[in-house]
Amino acid sequence: MATRRLPPGPSVISSLLHLLCRLLKSIVWKVWQLCTSSTLILLLIYWAYGSFFILLLVFSALFGLFYNFQDSLLYFPQQPESSTMYVTPPSAVGIPYNNIYLKTKDGLSINAVLFKQAPVKCSRVPTILFFHGNAGNIGHRYINANALHSVCGCNVVLLEYRGYGRSDGTPSESGLYMDAQTALDYLHTRSDIDHTKIFVMGRSLGGAVAIHLASRVENQDRIRGLILENTFTNIPEMGAVVIGLELLKWLPLMFYKNKYLSLLKVFRIQVPTLFLSGSVDELVPPQMMHRLFQRCGSRMKKMARFERGTHNETWQCDGYFHTVGQFLSEVTRQDSMPLLSSAIYGAEEEDV
């Protein structure tokens, strides 16, 4: 007796559609890359013969050049020179450490270093997961980490993004988010640290990564607090500042390969948050930190302004580590009653 063949189920159809979409996306991407690499040839053909189709290809190629060039304006893993070839060994700091290589979901090996307190304290003190800026490698942050370790009495984890230092891969917005999530997940597997005292800290570009990580619903109960230093609202606004062209922040988001929409995400943050702002930051306008502070959804948030703080040297200002240490202490002492939002100016604190 002949058997009747059943129609394909929803899961099969969904898989086929997903495969088709990936194929079409791959074809479009290859055509775009071809157009981008052949921009000059296309311009010459259009000049010689004229064609609406060729004109479309020219515009597509120019857009491709602009789109892919954005990475070179944002990520600087090779500055200073040799930053991707040599990373100072963590032993140079002279404190206990673990050098770790984490495996991301897309199969990359990411370098990280955990500077630990003495064994008797390691499992009782806060742990800071630190995300650095857009240049150099984690070796350039060892002095900073050593000060956090000794002055604030915490464990410090330095994560090296993909494409930086000893980490595999190429930097991208989604990639940096994946690296950050991988590091947080890893910390929750360790038995020698207190999982209820994990703080996330980000400087400059790292602040955007930290905001994304802390704004995710699944991480709300896995992060005790957030510390942000001299970070920006989003890439369109930051691009307008760096290039000096106001038009850039009004371009549709589809024109931006990297967006880092921190101003939209910070509203979803619920954990206690400390903002560290250098008043003479020459790269990121301090007003951006103020806007992020105002927009932040946390019931416990503080702004610390350092009058002589520049973009990269705010951490060297008087009172910086005292402010961070006080924040860690206050948050870890709070079980249920949140502190009021406030602004800190040097050693003075004022309600807002």
> Active-site residue among 149, 277, 281, 298?
281
> Active-site residue among 83, 167, 204, 262?
204
Say whether 149 is catalytic: no
Q: Which fold has domain 90-351?
A: Rossmann fold (3.40.50)
Give the span between the Cα atoms of 199 and 224, in whole angstroms: 5
Mean per-residue pLDDT for 195-222?
97
- Partnered with residue 201 across adjacent β-strands are 130, 227
Say whether 204 is catalytic: yes
Please say whether the beta carbons of 112 and 102 come within 8 A: yes
Which H/E stretch holds residue 145? helix 142-151
Say whether 123 is catalytic: no
Using the predicted structure, report yes or no on whether residue 305 has a pLDDT greater than 80. yes
Query: pLDDT-derived band of residue 331, with 50, 70 and 90 as boundaries?
Result: very high
CA 135 to each of CA 29, 123, 175, 205, 228: distance values in angstroms, whole numbers, following the listed order: 28, 32, 16, 9, 17
Where are the CATH 3.40.50.1820 domain residues in the chain?
90-351
pLDDT at residue 212, as a whole number: 98
pLDDT at residue 71, as a whole number: 86
Please say whether the beta carbons of 320 and 314 come within 8 A: yes
Give the span between the Cα atoms of 68 and 314, in whole angstroms: 32
pLDDT at residue 243, as a whole number: 81
Of 222, 233, 215, nearest to 293 (Cα)?
Answer: 233
Both tokens assigned to 131: 């995300």
Structure confidence by residue, pLDDT tens digits, 137-162: 999 999 999 999 999 999 999 999 99
> Active-site residue among 194, 279, 311, 342?
311
Give the span between the Cα atoms of 209 and 183, in whole angstroms: 12
The contacts of residue 298 (CB under 8 Å, 6+ apart) are 226, 269, 270, 271, 272, 273, 341
The contacts of residue 349 (CB under 8 Å, 6+ apart) are 342, 343
Give the span between the Cα atoms of 68 and 9, in whole angstroms: 40
pLDDT at residue 47, as a whole number: 57
